[in-house]
């Protein structure tokens, strides 16, 4: 069945069960991926997946939901029946409706249609990349984590009020994590990830180069003294920390009491007036962009922090109604609708204010710690308390020299971090989860082995 | 040899599928595969969330799918699909064959048909009728969240329950033909407490496998008291000072240190990648002589227990480390093929869309001879980690995990609560530093995410003392 036929099938089955109000989200995908090990194919993988999430409203306007991978006629009927049963336990204290924007026009980024290159081509490309990476430096002995994949998928949202929207898309990903070993030293590892709409869009050479340079740059390492340091966050690491604490901008989290913000936090000053943060799911550099969210609301650019102050929260249909605003295109589709950001864009506002503009990661000669990548976010972030303690990969810059930090954590409080931003470099860099310049923060605690 | 009269053109969980499975496996062998494995699952899951005094989410789900894995020498191709028809499964076999570029078939393997059906599901078919209903779950979760409301500093109360019922059929060209039903239930309580600028959280999770009545027996009052006390103890806690220090790790979920620091590095997937420092250390000392560590899948009701693994092998009890000496690795079929370490019944996957890999089950450090007090009394200045959060291990063996509830140890006594601690280190360096093991071994359920998805595990240990470890803080 195609998505139109599924909609018709659901409509007819719902009618036979006297369910007049329903909506659904579905995705259909074909994925292909390869991994290699020293020139040999290791695992080759293909999958065809389909997933359907159905919501129904009962006569008391309570919502029930069911998710299934069985999109046969009988599977759809069973899903509707289960959702109907679940609606007896629907949340009486917070109603859910169709998004008022579910029929608004959506903006689909036009891209050239990509076709699968096939497993053999994926394998050839990855083998070549592995060889080049190993040959790029004598200390690089293996590429233990690697993969090249391509996905082709369709996403659909439709409801009983006549909304219907779908889009098809492709995405390819390459990751290479090298391991370097030198005599009498600990092994060091680092890597790179590249995304594209198709395999032909992947910058494989730059992925190899990045993985090699990063890994080699960690070969000379040393422990770091436990102390407070001036920190420069790479674009990737700053976006990681903003995403980890995105509950500050999340209306669902605020209503659930797990956010550092509250309903009255709009306008609260969090940082220097030089800081702007947007969520921009449709940004041209966002390979994973989706033109609508789980409730069918169009995706759009939304300012989260303007000149250091909270400007907007991200919303689903129900949170928007409670906050007396409109949905922002950040909803999932669930029994309890989740809300999450799409693509973070950090930029320097037009105001410079009191930034220390001499802090530039490429030429600053004073002592500082450069945080390249934050790790173990799931373990080290207490979003509801605002605290974090995270291992990282990075370097200590001291006396004009740069040395990799052996093993260390950075710890602090997100509000303290934002308030202590001392510089925002002018140029932004694209990462896999957003865009940001390098961000400098003063006085964060680093724990090392010394 | 094989029936040419195929009785069914689609996998039917209520019927015998032997003829159809044999035809599909035979098809793969005919095309040149060395080995063909079919993993088919049918799931029936539900989850319930209670927040404050209301049920805010009920989420049932069900699905079916198959994962087909073909080996040619040491390479493997894996295809997953939702299409359980004969046509769909054969198409998946063809796709896997094509991926492996098998064009010649000079050394054809022999497939002698499937062995006698080993049906582990017979006594389990009634489970679906024995597990608590959504109504019953909701009632108990609401009582539980109400129990958390012990003072006005508790601002957020949550109770969550999930039940996964997975029916599987596993068939492969070595004759394996197995059916099983797995039931996992888990329930968790969470609170957030606040008072002026102070905030803390507390959480506990409980879980079982194969025990439909377990949720009814769960002592929610005890759990609520535990979570409440933890959040109150941590509410006004100072941040821990960073540094190197001795630590005592509590039993139950404290076992996450072994899981992260060492357990992952004893999976054969890590040998395949060349990312474990223990690869050539079999029968060598890798830990303090006080450490004996075990991975098994047989403890009745434990969250990581299995009747049969996802490759059709009954799980064994594997003594990984005996008195500090490395004795065994955790191995699956691919691990045995590629590293030579015999399978241990540890081939596990989240669902049909993942190929099985060597994964931990119930993993714990065996009990020693000391009391908890002996361990604490032996430290003049250190940290007691009463409750652990999650953790992870990197590709060079570096591990880290968060301490949810910690207390300073001064002169052999527990003193002030502290928060914000992260334990970091490297497996090779920390294992020899586990110098004392208590006599109070207990297990705790958890979820482990790795190459073959998220699987249910237990971690465990008695109280243990680590002579020195890096504590990240402020």
Interface contact flag, A177 B395, Cβ < 8 Å = yes
Query: 3-class DSSP state for residue B115?
Result: coil
Query: 3-class DSSP state for residue B314?
Result: coil
Q: Helix B134-147 and helix B220-235: axis angle, to 10°? A: 40
Place of tokens 């450069």: A370
Q: What's the rounded Cα separation, in Å, for the pair A75 and A85? A: 15
CB A63 within 8 A of CB A56: yes
Q: Final residue of a domain: which of A159, A189, A216?
A: A216
Domain ranges of chain B: 18-235, 238-472
Same domain, A199 and A226: no
Average pLDDT, integer, range A323-338: 96
**Nearest-neighbour CA in chain B from A350: distance (Å):** 33
CATH number for the domain harbouring residue A64: 3.30.2290.10
CB B31 within 8 A of CB B102: yes
CB A346 within 8 A of CB A276: yes
Average pLDDT, integer, range A184-188: 89
Same domain, A317 and A409: yes
Interface contact flag, A391 B471, Cβ < 8 Å = no
Same domain, A29 and A141: yes
Same domain, A194 and A266: no
Q: Which residues pair with B318 in a beta bridge?
A: B295
Same domain, A174 and A38: yes
How confident is the model at residue A354, as a pLDDT?
82
**Nearest-neighbour CA in chain B from A189: distance (Å):** 7
How confident is the model at residue B425, as a pLDDT?
86
Q: Does domain B18-235 have CATH number 3.30.2290.10?
A: yes
**Closest in B57, B61, B101 to A68, CB measured:** B61
How confident is the model at residue B8, as a pLDDT?
63
Same domain, A225 and A312: yes
Exposure string (b/e) for A189-219, b if CB count within 10 Å is 16 or more?
bbbbbbbbbbbebbebeebbebbbebbbbbb
Same domain, A230 and A309: yes
Chosen from B136, B422, B423 to mutate, greatest number of chain A CBs within 10 A: B422
Same domain, A202 and A233: no
Angle CA A270–B157–A311, to nearest 5? 20
How confident is the model at residue A158, as a pLDDT?
98
Q: Final residue of a domain: which of A216, A243, A261?
A: A216
Lowest-pLDDT choice from A317-321, A323-327, B390-394, B414-418: B390-394
Same domain, A271 and A192: no
pLDDT (tens digit, 9 = 90+) per residue, A139-180?
999 999 999 999 999 999 999 999 999 999 999 999 999 999
CB B342 within 8 A of CB B351: no
Same domain, A54 and A202: yes
Q: Which residue of A has its CA nearest to B47?
A: A335
Q: Model ipTM?
A: 0.90
Q: Final residue of a domain: which of A187, A216, A245?
A: A216
Same domain, A278 and A174: no
- Residue B313 pLDDT level (bands cut at 50, 70, 90): very high
How confident is the model at residue B106, as a pLDDT?
67
In Å, what is the CA distance from A364 to each residue of A275, A358, A402? 21, 7, 11
| Domain span including residue A189 | 3-216
Interface contact flag, A65 B156, Cβ < 8 Å = no
pLDDT (tens digit, 9 = 90+) per residue, B320-369?
999 999 999 999 999 999 999 999 999 999 999 999 999 999 999 999 99
**Closest in B65, B156, B395 to A179, CB measured:** B395
Average pLDDT, integer, range B62-74: 95
Q: Is the pLDDT of residue B6 over 60?
A: no
Contacts of A387 in chain B (CB under 8 A): 239, 419-420
Question: What average pLDDT is seen over chain A?
Answer: 95
In Å, what is the CA distance from B388 to each residue of B230, B378, B460? 12, 21, 12
How confident is the model at residue A138, as a pLDDT?
96
Number of compact structural domains in chain A: 2
Same domain, A187 and A285: no
How confident is the model at residue B390, as a pLDDT?
76
Average pLDDT, integer, range B56-83: 95
Interface contact flag, B134 A89, Cβ < 8 Å = yes
């Amino acid at each position: 069945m195609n998505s139109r036929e599924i909609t018709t099938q659901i409509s007819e089955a719902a009618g036979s069960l006297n369910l007049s109000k329903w909506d659904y989200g579905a995705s259909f995908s074909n994925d292909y991926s390869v991994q290699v090990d020293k020139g040999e194919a290791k695992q080759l993988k293909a999958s065809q997946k389909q997933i359907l999430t159905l919501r129904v409203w009962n006569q008391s306007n309570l919502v029930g939901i069911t998710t299934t991978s069985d999109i046969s006629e009988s599977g759809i009927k069973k899903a509707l029946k289960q959702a109907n049963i679940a609606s007896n336990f629907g949340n009486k204290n917070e109603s859910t409706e169709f998004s008022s924007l579910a029929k608004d026009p959506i903006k689909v980024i036009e891209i050239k249609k990509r076709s699968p290159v096939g497993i053999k081509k994926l394998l050839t490309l990855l083998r070549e990349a592995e060889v080049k990476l190993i040959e790029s430096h004598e200390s690089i002995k293996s590429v233990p984590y690697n993969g090249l994949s391509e996905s082709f998928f369709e996403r659909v949202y439709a409801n009983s009020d006549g909304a219907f929207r779908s889009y098809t898309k492709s995405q390819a990903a390459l990751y290479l994590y090298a391991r370097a070993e030198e005599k009498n030293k600990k092994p060091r590892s680092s890597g790179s990830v590249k995304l594209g709409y198709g395999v032909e869009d992947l910058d494989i050479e730059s992925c190899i180069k990045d993985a090699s340079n990063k890994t080699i740059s960690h070969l000379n390492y040393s422990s770091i003294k436990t102390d407070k340091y001036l920190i420069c966050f790479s674009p990737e690491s700053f976006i990681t920390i903003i995403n980890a604490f995105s509950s500050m901008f999340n209306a669902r989290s605020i209503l659930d009491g797990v956010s550092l913000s509250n309903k009255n936090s709009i306008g609260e000053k969090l940082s220097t007036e030089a800081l702007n943060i947007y969520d921009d799911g449709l940004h041209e550099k966002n390979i994973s962009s989706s033109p609508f969210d789980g409730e069918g609301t169009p995706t759009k650019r939304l300012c989260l922090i303007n000149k250091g102050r909270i400007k907007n929260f991200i919303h689903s249909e129900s949170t928007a109604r409670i906050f007396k605003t409109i949905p922002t295109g950040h909803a999932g589709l669930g029994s309890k609708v989740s809300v999450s950001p799409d693509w973070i864009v950090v930029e320097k506002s037009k105001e410079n204010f009191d930034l220390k503009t001499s802090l530039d990661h490429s030429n600053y000669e004073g002592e500082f710690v450069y945080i390249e990548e934050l790790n173990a976010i799931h373990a080290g972030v207490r979003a509801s308390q605002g605290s974090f303690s995270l291992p990282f990969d990075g370097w200590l810059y001291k006396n004009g020299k740069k040395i990799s930090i052996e093993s260390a954590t950075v710890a602090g409080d997100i509000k303290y971090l934002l308030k202590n931003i001392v510089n925002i470099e002018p140029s932004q860099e694209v990462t896999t989860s957003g865009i940001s310049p390098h961000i400098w923060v003063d006085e964060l605690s680093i724990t090392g082995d010394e | 040899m094989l029936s040419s009269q195929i009785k069914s053109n689609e996998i039917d969980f209520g019927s015998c599928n032997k003829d159809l499975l044999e035809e599909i496996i035979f098809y793969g062998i005919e095309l040149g595969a060395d080995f063909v494995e079919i993993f088919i699952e049918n799931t029936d899951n539900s989850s319930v969330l209670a927040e404050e005094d209301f049920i805010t989410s009920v989420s049932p789900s069900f699905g079916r799918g198959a994962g087909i894995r073909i080996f040619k020498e040491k390479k493997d191709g894996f295809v997953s699909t939702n299409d359980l028809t004969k046509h769909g499964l054969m198409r998946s076999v063809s796709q896997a064959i094509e991926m492996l570029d098998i064009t010649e078939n000079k050394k054809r393997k022999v497939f002698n048909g499937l062995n006698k059906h080993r049906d582990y599901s017979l006594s389990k078919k009634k489970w679906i009728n024995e597990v608590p209903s959504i109504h019953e779950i909701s009632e108990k979760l609401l009582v539980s969240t109400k129990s958390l409301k012990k003072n006005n500093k508790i601002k957020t109360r949550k109770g969550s329950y999930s039940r996964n019922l997975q029916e599987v059929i596993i068939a492969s060209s070595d004759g394996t033909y197995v059916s099983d039903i797995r039931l996992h239930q888990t329930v968790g309580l969470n609170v957030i407490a606040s008072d002026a600028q102070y905030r803390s959280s507390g959480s506990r999770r409980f879980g079982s496998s194969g025990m439909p009545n377990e949720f009814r027996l769960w002592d929610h009052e005890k759990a609520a008291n535990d979570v409440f006390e933890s959040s109150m103890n941590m509410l006004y806690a100072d941040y821990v000072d960073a540094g190197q220090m001795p630590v005592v790790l509590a039993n139950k979920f404290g076992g996450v240190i072994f899981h992260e620091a060492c357990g992952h590095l004893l999976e054969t997937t890590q040998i395949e990648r060349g990312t474990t420092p223990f690869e050539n250390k079999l029968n060598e000392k890798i830990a303090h002589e006080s450490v004996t560590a075990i991975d098994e899948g047989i403890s009745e009701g434990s969250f990581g227990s299995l009747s049969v693994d996802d490759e059709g092998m009954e799980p064994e009890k594997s003594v990984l480390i005996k008195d500090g000496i490395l004795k065994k690795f955790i191995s699956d079929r691919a691990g045995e093929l590629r590293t030579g370490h015999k399978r241990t019944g540890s081939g596990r996957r989240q669902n049909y869309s993942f190929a099985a890999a060597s994964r931990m089950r119930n993993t714990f450090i065996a009990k020693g001879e000391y009391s908890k007090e002996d361990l604490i009394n032996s430290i003049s200045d250190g940290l007691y980690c009463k409750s652990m959060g999650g953790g992870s291990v990197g590709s060079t063996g570096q591990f880290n995990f968060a301490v949810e509830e910690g207390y300073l140890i001064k002169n052999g006594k527990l003193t002030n609560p502290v928060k914000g601690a992260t334990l970091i280190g490297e497996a090779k360096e920390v294992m020899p530093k586990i110098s004392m093991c208590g006599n109070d071994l207990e297990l705790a359920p958890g979820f482990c995410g790795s190459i073959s998805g998220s699987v249910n595990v237990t971690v465990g240990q008695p109280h243990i003392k680590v002579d020195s470890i890096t504590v990240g803080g402020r």
